[in-house]
């Protein structure tokens, strides 16, 4: 049984000497621009929602006044749809939130937040310092990713040269223009700092499988780039409900093939938070268990990869897994409520989780979450003779997903040959997404918790990238 490890004392984590992380710092004043952006985003979202409701109400009222018989039809349709009203409202809300994240928030992240020296992230440094950003397309479906790499010279970093980058403006997204293979190769050769060129981090963002993108959560990637001196590939995988399971899994597999074929990456550490933590764990299971991967290809009947007979010839080796408050199953959070949060907060979180998971799941083919793979006899027996690489699990004690994280830690050691000494479980006194929120939105206590968790993640990634202890150094 994996015993949760308490957070390290404040003075022991790597960034403790950075004065910007002192617990007495007033985080609400550290980045005033970010707070203004936050409240404007809330106002914008509420305004869009209110306008949509008003327009729909006016149209319905006008129709009812014009044609009396439509009143009866409207009532009947309303009664029919009443039992599904929460799903209809939820899907409409997902479309609204996802569109805002892909436009307003992505643009703010790339043009306002990431380019300011006052935009401090969890390692105490400005977001864009000593890192570079590129955009690439990794499969024929047009799925893209961010390449975040350490820079040789601070003058090449995103903080100082972002104005030279090409930005594509459209109604659907505000992203960096994808570069060609030759442009990526030249940039990494000429501007990338020292790193293990055959190892990389694949980062999968959260968002409940239905929203967000890699751009708005890039602050989680930049600390790994600086602290572990690795290149991070942050993926934009397809989202539900438009593309439910296994669309995201197939897309991530395509990205791993692309990394192996075009970037010469031979070793990968999978990192994901929330929904991304679920995807990272699932991909790791497929990669370390060839029989499971073969079964996955048979039952999904779509993914061929490069059509090579050898799995090793297609994909890099997964040498580490980090799941940060991951959605690792769909059942454990629906049992007894957490005692660390109120019953109202539990019910709201439970409703949201069930909706997001319902949008993502496709139970007609194969279990959609790693815990269910480990629980189902058909798939568990395909993994029982294999061991997973070192695993780091991070979650908050006030997060409804903490039970999911603890259950995975137990199952991975009891159902496979994975040694429990290689599974780290760290719990922090915090709620969901406490690492992903900008520091300016957090109080001093929570910012300290987030910085500690971030330091543990960076240390884990650093050890995977450089297994020689003599070469490890504290940032």
The domain spanning residue 222 has which CATH number?
A: 3.40.50.1820
In a domain, residue 94? The reply is no
The pLDDT-based confidence of 422 (bands split at 50, 70, 90) is very high
- Tell me the pLDDT tens digit for each residue of 46-80: 777 788 778 777 776 666 666 665 565 666 666 55
Rank 10-14, 15-19, 127-131, 362-366 by mean pLDDT and report only the highest. 127-131
Helices (runs of H) and strands (runs of E) counted in the chain: 16, 10
Structural domains of the chain, count: 1
CB–CB of 124/15 below 8 Å?
yes
Look at phi and psi of residue 130 and say left if phi exceeds 0, alpha if psi is from -120 to 50, else beta. left
- Looking at residue 393, what DSSP letter applies? E
Is 4 a domain residue? no
Query: Above pLDDT 70, what percent of the chain?
Result: 78
Give domain status of residue 22, yes or no. yes
Top-confidence residue, 78 or 343: 343
CA atoms within 13 A on the CB side of 260: 20
| 238-284 pLDDT per residue, tens | 999 889 999 999 999 999 999 999 999 999 999 999 999 999 999 99
pLDDT at 403 over 80: yes
472 domain-assigned: no
- Give pTM, 2 decimals: 0.86
Parallel/antiparallel/unpaired status of strands 391-396 and 317-324: parallel
The verdict on residue 47 lying in a domain is no
**pLDDT at 19 > cutoff 50:** no
In this prediction, residue 201 carries a pLDDT of 97
Q: How many CB atoms lie within 10 A of CB 342?
A: 10
Q: Are 273 and 220 in contact (CB under 8 A)?
A: yes
Residue 68 domain flag: no
Per-residue pLDDT, averaged over 218-244, amounts to 94
Asked, for residue 92, whether it belongs to a domain, the answer is no
Confidence of residue 459 (pLDDT cuts 50, 70, 90): very high
Does some domain include residue 166? yes
Q: What is the pLDDT of residue 119?
A: 84
pLDDT digit string, tens, across residues 86-120: 666 677 778 778 878 887 888 888 877 888 888 88
Q: What does the pLDDT read at residue 471?
A: 39
Domain that holds residue 421: 10-36+102-466
């Amino acid at each position: 049984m994996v015993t949760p490890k308490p957070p390290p004392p404040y003075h022991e984590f790597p960034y403790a000497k950075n004065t910007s992380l002192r617990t007495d710092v007033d985080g609400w004043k550290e980045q005033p621009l970010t707070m203004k952006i936050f409240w404007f985003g809330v106002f914008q979202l509420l305004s869009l929602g209110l306008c949509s409701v008003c327009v729909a109400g006016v149209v319905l009222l006008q129709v009812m006044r014009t044609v009396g018989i439509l009143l009866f039809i409207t009532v009947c349709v309303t009664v029919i749809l009443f039992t599904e009203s929460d799903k209809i409202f939820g899907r409409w809300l997902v479309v609204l939130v996802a569109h805002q994240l892909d436009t307003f928030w992505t643009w703010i992240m790339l043009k306002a937040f990431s380019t300011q020296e006052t935009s401090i992230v969890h390692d105490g440094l400005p977001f864009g310092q000593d890192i570079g950003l590129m955009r690439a397309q990794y499969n024929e479906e047009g799925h893209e990713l961010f390449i975040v790499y350490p820079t040789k010279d601070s003058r090449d970093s995103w903080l100082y040269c972002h104005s030279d980058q090409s930005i594509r403006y459209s109604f659907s997204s505000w992203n960096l223009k994808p570069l060609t293979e030759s442009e990526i190769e030249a940039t990494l050769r000429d501007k990338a700092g020292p790193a293990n060129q055959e190892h990389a981090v694949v980062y999968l963002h959260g968002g409940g499988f239905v929203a967000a993108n890699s751009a708005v959560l890039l602050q989680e990637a930049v600390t790994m780039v600086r602290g572990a001196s690795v290149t991070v590939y942050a993926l934009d995988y397809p989202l539900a409900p438009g593309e439910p399971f296994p669309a995201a899994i197939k897309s991530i597999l395509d990205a791993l093939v692309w990394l192996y074929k075009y970037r010469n990456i031979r070793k990968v550490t999978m990192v994901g938070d929330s929904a991304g933590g679920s995807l990272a764990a699932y991909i790791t299971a497929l990669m370390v268990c060839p029989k499971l991967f073969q079964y996955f290809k048979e039952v999904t009947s779509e993914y061929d990869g490069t059509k090579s007979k050898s799995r090793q010839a297609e994909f890099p080796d997964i040498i580490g897994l980090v799941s940060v408050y991951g959605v690792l199953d769909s059942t454990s959070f629906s049992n007894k409520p957490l005692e660390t949060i109120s019953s109202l907060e539990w019910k709201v979180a439970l409703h949201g989780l069930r909706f997001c998971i319902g949008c993502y799941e496709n139970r007609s083919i194969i279990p959609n979450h790693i815990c269910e793979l480990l629980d189902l006899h058909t798939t568990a027996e395909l993994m029982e003779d294999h061991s997973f690489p070192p695993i780091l699990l991070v979650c908050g004690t006030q997060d409804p997903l903490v039970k999911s994280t603890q259950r995975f830690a137990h199952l991975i050691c009891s159902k496979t040959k994975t040694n429990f000494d290689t599974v780290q479980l760290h719990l922090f006194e915090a709620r969901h997404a406490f690492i992903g929120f900008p520091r300016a939105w957090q109080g001093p206590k929570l910012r300290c918790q987030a910085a500690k968790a971030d330091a543990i993640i960076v240390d884990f990634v650093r050890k995977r990238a450089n297994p020689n202890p003599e070469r490890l150094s504290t940032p």
